[in-house]
Amino acid sequence: MITDKMAQALNDQIREELYSAYIYLSMSSYATSVGMAGVAHWFRIQTQEELTHTDKFCNYLNSQGSQVILQAIEQPPCTWESALEMFEAALAHEQHISQCIHDLSLLAEDEKDRATDIFLQWFISEQVEEEENAKEVIDQLKLAGSDGSGLFMIDRELAKRVFTPPATNA
């Protein structure tokens, strides 16, 4: 069983993960509205990933005898100036989530909650990948510049992204 303080922090992280899904769904919807189907697809896959993360946190809390308490989610932005701006916002958001996960790990150490700290290690590794994925697209968009044909090619490439759920025991 985990402490009330740890359970509250994990519930707060569930809100963060749901907001992540919410903002990526907003980005996907906006990209669709401006004709960037590949960008929309990339963010739709990102939405699925965030919902999977949410599910992992919920399952963990329940397995530890704690209750999941869903919290209100802030409305995300709904427009961006460019694909580059969307991916820069995504990277900044993932960096925020990385900090949240690191803070949770430190709290688990302070609470002497080894099980939760071990559980969080998967998320620490996952966040490295999340930041790397966004940064890779940012780099490509910067290389393409404002050339429409470059964006067109990147958009087509982003449409190929496939959602791969994590292993259930991860």
Q: Delineate the domains of the chain, giving CATH numbers in brackets.
A: 4-158 (1.20.1260.10)
Please report the pLDDT score of residue 170 as a whole number: 43
Mean pLDDT per block of 10 residues along the chain (170 residues) reads 95 98 98 97 97 98 97 98 97 98 98 97 96 97 86 91 75
Please report the pLDDT score of residue 148 as a whole number: 82
Provide the 3-class DSSP secondary structure of residue 67: coil
Please report the pLDDT score of residue 49 as a whole number: 96
For the CA atoms of 106, 47, 88, 135, what is the dihedral angle to 10 degrees?
70
> What is the reported pTM?
0.94
